[in-house]
Structure formats: C-alpha cells, structure tokens
Amino acid sequence: MEAHRQDIRVDCDETCLLHMGDLQLEAKVENFSLGGALVHFNGSPPALHIGDNCKIKMEGGSLREYSCEVIRVESTKIALKFADTHNYKSILQRVSNTL
C-alpha cells in the first residue's frame, strides 16, 4: 500500500477495535499520523469501501476513540483518515509520546 501522508508517521503495533455500525473488528494499528492510521487485519477485512465511516478505538495507556473515513482498502490493510479535528490534541500527544 503506497503511503501519501504529509504528516510524520509513527510505527505502532497497537491493538484496536474498528466499529462500523453493529460490526466490531479487532485489528492492529501498523502506523499513524496526525492525518490517519494504517490498520492491519489478521485476515481479509469484511466488505469495506472507500468513503465508509467508522470509529477506531486505540489502546495503549488510555483508550481513545477516533471517527474515521476509509480512504484505501487492500487485502489485509485499510488506510483511515481521522475525521475528528477536535481530537487532534490527543493524536498529537500520541505522536509526541512515541517520538
């Protein structure tokens, strides 16, 4: 999956839960930035499409939930764009804590 991010990317191996309506999927966050996250599934993700909205709950110190939009889909990975600009402070804190 080719990355088109403009922000600093931080590698991560953090368990997350992806919520889409009634569907809840466990995955791993492979990396994230101020703009979004790359999420890896153990198998193929269900029928996710570009433009789908979801929420991702990331663990690690404290549980955080971010509203996202699916912007790329591959066989076992999806790229998410963070939609909640008011959560940027907590995202920035995560990036700063890992650098």
Nearest to 87 by CA among 29, 5, 49, 32: 32
- Ramachandran category for residue 97: left, alpha or beta (phi over 0 → left; psi -120 to 50 → alpha): alpha
Task: State the Cα–Cα distance between residues 39 and 13, nearest whole angstrom.
Answer: 10
Type of residue at 22: D
pLDDT of residue 97: 63
Please say if the pLDDT value at position 54 is more than 90. yes
Mean pLDDT confidence for 47-67: 81
Residue with the bigger pLDDT between 39 and 61: it is 39
Domains (range + CATH), the chain: 10-90 (2.40.10.220)
What pTM value is reported for the model? Answer: 0.77
Give Rg (Cα) of the chain: 12
pLDDT of residue 1: 44
pLDDT tens track for 20-48 = 888 888 999 998 887 888 999 988 777 88
